[in-house]
Copies of this chain bind each other. A is one copy, B any other.
Amino acid sequence: MESAPTRVMVAVNESTMKDHPHPSISSKRAFEWTLEKMVRSNTSDFKILLLHVQVVDEDGFDEVDSVYASPEDFREMRESNKAKGLHLLEFFVKRCHEIGVGCEAWVKKGDPKEVICQEVIRVRPDLLVVGSRGLGRFQKVFVGTVGAFCVKHAECPVITIKRNADETPSDPADD
């Protein structure tokens, strides 16, 4: 196939659970779904764009605007070992590298739902994939959902992937 690869943006975030380091269950699921159901064995026809939006009031973090495309790109980070958002990206970049699909990963600061929509305008992916906790209507009122906002406002096709039922933590608002 001669045409440009399909560029799939996957929004990833950290787990809310202390005993569950790095990716949230739902963003890991969204990422794995993309590989299993879309990319499949056709790794050369896809590029995965991994965006992590750090909420502003988290601890100081200066790695905004760097782009990471291979596991080696994280070497310096490991020495300083202070930027936990990069450990998150490293997890996903490593996985892309293992299966041989091209990727780019970066961090932005701000309100995740708004920054994701801004980045869609800037980067123009073919598709945005967002994980979802699959909460009921009542639960959503209190915790909000990034996916629902993006479905409504992002200027590209959006797919939300729910966690599998057997992955739901004891408090379903956790992720």
Where the two chains meet, the residues of A that have a C-beta atom closer than 8 Å to any C-beta of B are: 1, 3, 6, 33, 36-38, 40-42, 45, 126-127, 151, 157-162
Contact = CB atoms under 8 A, between A and B. Distances in A.
Given A45-B40, A126-B37, A157 B161 contact: yes
Given A6-B40, A41-B42, A41-B45, 18 more contacts: A1-B40, A3-B36, A6-B38, A33-B157, A37-B126, A38-B38, A40-B42, A42-B45, A127-B159, A151-B151, A151-B160, A157-B159, A157-B160, A157-B161, A157-B162, A158-B159, A158-B160, A159-B159
A165 to B, nearest CB: 11
A5 to B, nearest CB: 9
How many chain copies? 2
B159 A41 contact: no
Contacts of A41: 1, 42, 45
25 contacts: A1-B40, A1-B41, A3-B36, A6-B37, A6-B38, A6-B40, A33-B157, A37-B127, A38-B38, A40-B42, A40-B45, A41-B42, A41-B45, A42-B42, A42-B45, A127-B159, A151-B151, A151-B160, A157-B159, A157-B160, A157-B161, A157-B162, A158-B159, A158-B160, A159-B159
A45 B46 CA distance: 15
A6 B39 CA distance: 10
A122 to B, nearest CB: 19
Contacts of A45: 40-42
Contacts of A127: 37, 159
